[in-house]
Chains A and B, each alone.
Chain A
Amino acid sequence: MTRTFPRSLRASILTGLLGLFAAASILTGAEPSVSMPPVPSPLVAPILHFRSLLAMTPEQQQGVLALKPEEQRTVLAAKLEEYAAMPEKERELRLRLLEIRLYLLNLMRMPPAEREAVLATIPEQDRTFVQSRLQDWSRLNGEEQQQVLQNRKSLHLFLYRGFVRGELDVVQISKITPPPPAAYRAQMIAKWQALPEERRQEIVRRFGTFLAMEAAQRQEVLQKLPVPDQARAQQTMRRIAALNPEQRSEFLNGLKKFADLDASARMRFLLGTERWSNMSAEERSLWRSIVVKVESPPLPPGGGGGE
């Protein structure tokens, strides 16, 4: 379970930091300006602390670490070394991921009325993403919110949903190394994508009809396929045979959407299927319900989910 600041301490830190910056602004006579660096949010104080450690000289770092318990000192020393050796973009990505986690976990537990003031302290580049996840959060009911908070994997998925698609696009995505798609499949997908949309829809529909044919009729078609294609088709039919009509329809719809993806999105999807298969039935069920909630059109005012 993730630890968070007690509410009173959180409020004190927030008030203190805001006060400090306000006082500094008055003393220096500086006018608020868009060019000013954003005010650090107290919600991410641990990461701010680590950032300040990274900016210190080794001697200064040792001086600060010496004040910490040995176990914590050992881990932090190793992390300082690891992060210092990283390319700047990679380091920044990792720290921002942690900051986003801290922002969201604290905000999700706050009453909605208190969130606005805190959101204002979040740097602009992260604020949009955080607000978007908070909107998702408000669409879940109380039970779903509890389930998300209690399941680490589901929480992880919830917090970072859509991260890569937003303005915070990450640099490491280009390093994806999924298993290369079979050349034959790629060839067939290229053939598929060259077809007009109507024809693609027709093929999917007709494949559904093919599956519903009598075994003898299907066999007649399969016998005309080259042997490797026969094996593939039979494997596909075995997989689909276990599905009920509704699931079969979902499968065919998913198949079409998968075939319509561009190459990189398809690779990403294949990685996702691997992760999906490793999730428990409960995690998958929770994620399905989250997706249905957050992807459906927003409810009219007054019809929102639980907080």
Chain B
Amino acid sequence: MNDAEFQKLLEISWQRPLRPDEEERLQTFLRWHPERQAAWDEEAGLSLLLQQAPVAPHVSSNFTARVLDRVEREERRREHPVRPSPWRWWLPRLAGIAVTAALVLMGARMLFPPGREVASDSWVEEVRIVSAIADIPNAETLRDFEAIQLLPPTELMDKVDMELLAALQ
């Protein structure tokens, strides 16, 4: 077996496992040409890995065309670089300014809340009314409102003449 035949067996091994007679011829050749052993081992390992690899997903029919088109465009871009839009320069800076302004406003709002004056004023009238209503003797008794409300009137109680009742019994 010569080197050409070795090459042919190598190509066959890419497509399918060698048959026993082919395998025997190969081993004979390698015994006489041990310098080609490394080449065969490399090819055989690669073939084995490819056989074990999962089936690749289907790609679109124009996959190659799209790849080539993209490569072309990339080459053109490198040859004629596009001048960046002014917005590309301004936009990040404007965003930075806006964030800074928002932070400043938030800080100012915390230090000098704009609604505080109004809120404070709205409490004033309510506190005035409630305090005036609560300005009664024994105001703390208001929490017993129901119990007090159901007390019989004092002037009625005064009319229960226990002295007369005692004299009659």
Contact = CB atoms under 8 A, between A and B. Distances in A.
A268 to B, nearest CB: 6
Contacts of B137: 270, 273-274
B129 interface: yes
B105 interface: no
Nearest to B168: A46
A164 B145 CA distance: 18
A236 B160 contact: no
Contacts of A220: 120
User: How many of chain A's residues touch chain B, expressed as a range?
Assistant: 35 or more
Nearest to A101: B160
B143 A250 contact: yes
A155 to B, nearest CB: 11
A163 B133 contact: no
B165 A46 contact: yes
Main secondary structure of the interface of B (DSSP, over half): helix
Interface in A253-298: 253-255, 257-259, 268-277, 284, 287-288, 291, 295
A50 B167 CA distance: 10
A36 interface: no
A98 B164 contact: yes
B156 interface: yes
Given A255-B134, A277-B138, A225 B127 contact: yes
Contact of B129 (A191, A269, A271): A191
Contacts of B150: 161-162, 291, 295
Given A157-B152, A184-B132, A258-B133, A98 B165 contact: yes
Interface of A: 3, 46-47, 49-50, 72, 75-76, 79, 83, 93-94, 97-98, 101-102, 156-157, 160-164, 170, 172-173, 175-176, 181-182, 184-185, 187-189, 191-192, 203-204, 206-207, 210, 217, 220-222, 224-225, 229, 232-233, 235-236, 239, 242-243, 247, 250-251, 253-255, 257-259, 268-277, 284, 287-288, 291, 295
Interface of B: 120-121, 123-124, 126-157, 159-161, 163-169
What are the 5 tightest A-B residue pairs by CB atom distance, in nearest-first order? A254-B145, A254-B142, A188-B132, A46-B168, A250-B143
Given A76-B168, A185-B132, A258-B133, 9 more contacts: A97-B156, A156-B157, A160-B160, A224-B124, A239-B134, A242-B140, A272-B153, A277-B141, A288-B144
